[in-house]
Structure 1
Amino acid sequence: MRKRWNSKIYVPKGTFYLGGVEFVGPCKNQIEFVIDGTLLAPSNPRDIKQDTGSTSVHQQSIYLRYRYTRWSREKSWPLNDCHKNTNCPKLAMCRKLREEQSEKDVNGITVRDTVFNGTSDGIRIKTWESSAAKIVASNFVFENIQMINVGKPINIDQKYCPYPPCEKTGASHVQIKDIKYKNIYGTSKNKVAVNLQCSKSFRCKNVELIDINLKHNGVEGGPSTAVCENVDGSARGKMVPQHCLA
């Protein structure tokens, strides 16, 4: 009987410009993506081939591990003018779950041992508010992650609708479930350090918070807070801010 081997993609220490990355499945075994280096978005987004400009995930099981890796988009992201330019270039970003019936389920993603430093978001799961595809995003693990002055350290946003042609015509049909956040610590620039805003039609299920310590370090003053909408889950261990899970 042939033994099945997991696959590993390894990025060594060093600085590398980020191009198009696409994971296409399904595959029978888990894929491990280990990054020890620093990934930079090109300062000119047109340097990215436009047919591969975003990171797409269609795998049934992918394991991501970053060792104090820095993802940097500070030079390219201010060039984002897609809200007014229909021919805007693709930027280095992860593909979003959205209004498209061809989308597939996303299952089994693990991210651990990394640092977010000065980013607008930390751990973010977002779906278009009016997404019609009835798909499932499940079995995500986020563990041992440090936040340093991050805008929104923990963020589930199922009301994503930033600019036209996105239209707010109904709740997201994407089901998010079985999500674990463990040992997430550091500082948040916003008072709302934990934001869990799920679909009113498909509530988030089994969201676990374990040993969360996110202190507010912004100009507003006061302690960090948490917001929960349409989410079921549990919490244990150290909890800053106080959780709001039912």
Structure 2
Amino acid sequence: MIRVVLVDDQELVRAGLRALLEHDRDIEVVGEAGSGHAAARLVRATLPDVVLMDLRMPGGDGIDATRRITADPLLSRARVLVLTTFDDDADIVAAIRAGAAGYLLKDVPSGELRDAVRAVAAGGNLLAPSVTRQVMHRIAAGPEPPARDARLDLLTDRELVVLARVGLGESNAEIGRALFISPATARTHVGRLLAKLDLRDRTQLAVFAHRSGVVPPPAAD
């Protein structure tokens, strides 16, 4: 059973999230908090696997709460998954630097949210596709073109195309539509890329795509 704490200043939002998450029997909401300050205390009391964290709340924001939770050695099992309406660079970078394991927007489909909770509870990291694009562009920005990574020689032409699309933040379904393959086949290609490049997850794969030059840096304004 995956134990989840909900942190959002709107009671109606918390009620909706509880109903959505507990639709599946492997997820249990063990507590709710309406502020960042209350969240830190609640997490210490309940020791959840995942904290679903809003960012902008009165009485302590989600960034500070995330930082306090992830810095506490007694809460090492609790992983923070940000769920917010805000997708600006400052919030994204601040949340990741504070230790968040994932960053999703509140328009995420219900099934994908439950899958994200499972992935984060299992030790994975996860970013919404639009968030991935912003973060990767920021990481890749710089005056010098990235050097070619020798590991690229291990990849087939199709795998290079899939790698580039992962770097742009596309989902398996989006990759499948673009390349006229099924989402399952796209997922297989992503799995092979992770194995060949010795990377842990999709976020690392996207970073590699930018740093290796497979996805060119954005043009300067």
The question of a shared fold, defined as TM-score above 0.5 by the shorter chain, is answered with no
Bigger helix fraction: 2
TM-score (norm 2): 0.31
More strand by share: 1
